[in-house]
Amino acid sequence: MEHIQQEHTALLQKHIALLKRVVMGGVLVMGLKFLAYYLTHSNAIFSDALESIINVIAGAFAIFSLYYAAQPKDENHPYGHGKIEFFSAGFEGAMILIAGISILIKAMISLIHKTQVHSMDYGIVLIGVSGLINFIMGRMLVKAGEKSRSMTLTADGKHLLSDTYSSVGLFAGLLLIYITGIGWIDSLLAIIFAVMIMLTGYKLLRKSMAGLMDETDTETLKEIEVIINQKRQKEWIDIHNLRILKYGSAYHIDCHMTLPWFWDLDRAHQEVRQFEDIFRDEFPNKVELFVHADPCLPHSCKICLLSNCDKRKHPFAGRIDWTLERILKNEKHMAN
């Protein structure tokens, strides 16, 4: 277990280093966008610049959350400190939501008072450059987050990518204003971006709340269903009462495994260890398993794949598929 903890800590340190580079890039992008706003007085650009402040603050908080998540277990946190990543995503979501509301209010006021825009050519160039930088940083974070199952990296990366997509729309809108000279398009764009930003913030808040409340992670459970069916051994009579908890990028999985009743403790332990090793190979980061070994019962013979078992009480009736519906129930499998 010690070497697993060391690998997990090394991975988190790598993520922290990546986020530090992204925060530095975020400061550069923020400067470019506020320069564009200073030159153009565009509300749409202001909305993009205001969100960049959120990117930098959220990135800094994400660094802290990953550092805290890397701390080893202690008496007060027996499952580790990974839950902080859900707070990080929730904090980022709340900040994004507040920014979206602020942008919406300012844009509606400007639409009524018809604020004029200037120097759109400079604004177009600066927004295009900042959008490209955000896209590169966002792709890096999402790729690293999906590979390591880190909610913090994935959330921050998707936020940057959503910022990139809004920058693309902003670029097109600014170009349209530059060509047509219609100023109210600027405020209309800002309103559209504000709604998009608020929707992004809501989704992040919803996901962080789901993690903090230990809501069922259906996507990961489906992965587990595939893994145990692909690696299934004939000695494993059934898997049931399977549960999963996520602590940041780490997982806690527990389940019951039904094994032949006549095995000694050493043989049963070896089989459980083999089962645990499968998950440690399949998951790229830290995973902790608690497997409870159950002895088979006479009715288990009907689904047992051990053809040469001399303790069999009933003839084999058929193979049971290990679907999510079956493995999540707190009861041993029975023939249909």
Residue 183 is part of which domain span? 2-212
234 and 191 co-located in one domain: no
The CATH number assigned to the domain holding 319 equals: 3.30.70.1350
1 — pLDDT class (breaks 50, 70, 90):
very low
pLDDT at 86: 75
Residue 82: predicted pLDDT: 67
pLDDT average, residue stretch 44-65: 79
Report the candidate in 137, 127, 115 with the shortest Cα–Cα distance to residue 56.
Answer: 137
pLDDT of the residue at 20: 85
Q: Is the pLDDT of residue 119 over 80?
A: no
- Least confident window among 223-237, 238-252, 291-305: 238-252
- CA pair distance 25, 276, nearest whole angstrom: 41
CATH of the domain at 71: 1.20.1510.10
Task: Give me 16's structure tokens.
Answer: 């922290």
Residue 332 is assigned to a structural domain of this protein: no
Helices 151-180, 2-40: crossing angle, 10 deg rounding: 20
Average pLDDT estimate for 163-189: 78
Q: Which of 179, 212, 245 is the last residue of a domain?
A: 212
Edge-to-edge strand ranges of the sheet holding 287-295 = 238-247, 250-259, 287-295
Q: Has residue 266 got a pLDDT over 90?
A: yes
Same domain, 84 and 231: no
- 11 compared with 264, residue with greater pLDDT: 264
Encode pLDDT of 194-215 as tens digits. 788 788 788 878 877 776 666 6
- Tell which residue, 39, 36, 65, has the closest CA to residue 50: 36
Percent over 70 (pLDDT), the chain: 87
Is a pLDDT exceeding 60 seen at residue 2?
A: no
Identify whether residues 164 and 202 lie together within a single domain.
yes
What integer pLDDT is reported at residue 238 of this predicted model? 92
Q: Answer with the one of 181, 212, 243 that is the final residue of a domain.
A: 212
Within a domain: 71: yes
Amino acid at 237: I
How many structural domains does the chain have? 2
pLDDT at 38: 87
Mean pLDDT (whole number) for 77-98? 74
Q: Cα torsion for 80, 84, 85, 91, to the nearest 10°?
A: 180
Q: What is the pLDDT of residues 124-169, one digit of tens each?
A: 888 889 989 989 988 888 888 777 767 677 777 877 887 787 777 7
